[in-house]
Amino acid sequence: MKPSEQTMPGDNNRISNFFIFQAWLVLLLASFFGASLAGIQLTLSPKIEANKLNETLEKVPELIFGAEAAQSFAEENRQMDIERQYIKAGNKIYSVFQAKTDDQTSGWVVKSSGQGYADKIELLVGVDAKAETISGLFILDQKETPGLGNKIMEQAWRNQFNNKSTQQPMTAVKTKASAPNEINAITGATISSKAVCGIVNQSLNNLRQPLAKALLNDQNPSDNQPNNHQEKK
């Protein structure tokens, strides 16, 4: 080896120190940006949730009556009372919106979420007053693959859930849907399609009976009142 090609011990130390410095720099930058993103998330989280709540309230009439009927409802200046409730069922706490017109329950909108292909999917599912029939579906938030999984947001695909019975679990199929409880899966996004069906199925399975019971209690409030002949405690 020529003298000019030899590496002196001091050079080795400088190279080693340089790589150590670079490694620490990467770690420090990663920590800094991680903390920054966490801070931004904490700051924006309340605003994001508020926006989702406003969007949910706007979607309730459509998810109960359908787009055209909801539009007519608004044009006639009719009022819908929307009451938010929290119902614990199946080891989960669901945010449920009770929609009333003329003091009568018109239906319910359930907010739920679950794992999709890429990330969590948040959705709203509307059901009739007795929680027997699905009246609408809306995807509130998703991060599925653009051009594939994110097609779960398209109204044409979501409309497949309309008028489906809540008694039977929804199934996403690759072939043409033929059974009453089958949904045509999105081509190339079967996992996303099945994820939506799974979230809907779990939510309605957990809430079908509690919502039906809540309707009966609402229709017969006297059943929840203390008997006048009993001693009040």
Q: How far apart are CA 136 and CA 66, in angstroms?
A: 7
* Tens digits of residue pLDDT in 22-62: 788 788 888 777 776 666 656 767 887 888 889 999 999 99
Q: How far apart are CA 94 and CA 204, in angstroms?
A: 11
Between 9-65 and 67-75, two packed helices, what is the crossing angle to 10 degrees?
70
* φ, ψ (nearest 5 deg) of residue 9: -55, -35
Q: Judge whether 151 and 189 are in contact, CB under 8 Å.
A: yes
Q: How far apart are CA 97 and CA 139, in angstroms?
A: 16
**Does the pLDDT value for residue 179 go beyond 80?**
yes
Which pTM was predicted? 0.76
